[in-house]
Amino acid sequence: MTRILMVCLGNICRSPLAEGILKSKLNADSFFVDSAGTANYHTGSQPDRRSIAVARKYGLEIAHLRGRQFTVNDFDDFDFIYVMDESNYHNVTRLARNEDDTEKVNMILNEVYPNQNYDVPDPYYGGDQGFENVYKMLDEACSVIAENLS
3 state DSSP class of 66: coil
From first CA to last CA, the distance across the chain in angstroms is 12
Judged by CB under 6 A, the residue of 43, 63, 124, 149 near ligand 4NP is 124
Residue 8 near residue 19 (C-beta atoms within 8 A): no
Instruction: Identify the DSSP state of 69.
Output: B
2-8 vs 31-37, strand pairing mode: parallel
In this chain, which of 122, 137, 141, 142 binds ligand 4NP, going by CB under 6 A? 122
Q: Which stretch binds ligand 4NP (CB under 6 A): 12-20, 54-62, 75-83, 98-106?
A: 12-20
**Between 14-25 and 128-149, two packed helices, what is the crossing angle to 10 degrees?**
40
| Contact call for residue 55 and ligand 4NP (CB under 6 A) | no
From the candidates 13, 14, 48, 50, give the one annotated as an active-site residue.
14
CB of 32 to ligand 4NP, least distance (A): 21
User: From the CB of 57, what's the least distance to ligand 4NP, in Å?
Assistant: 18
Catalytic residues: 8, 14, 122
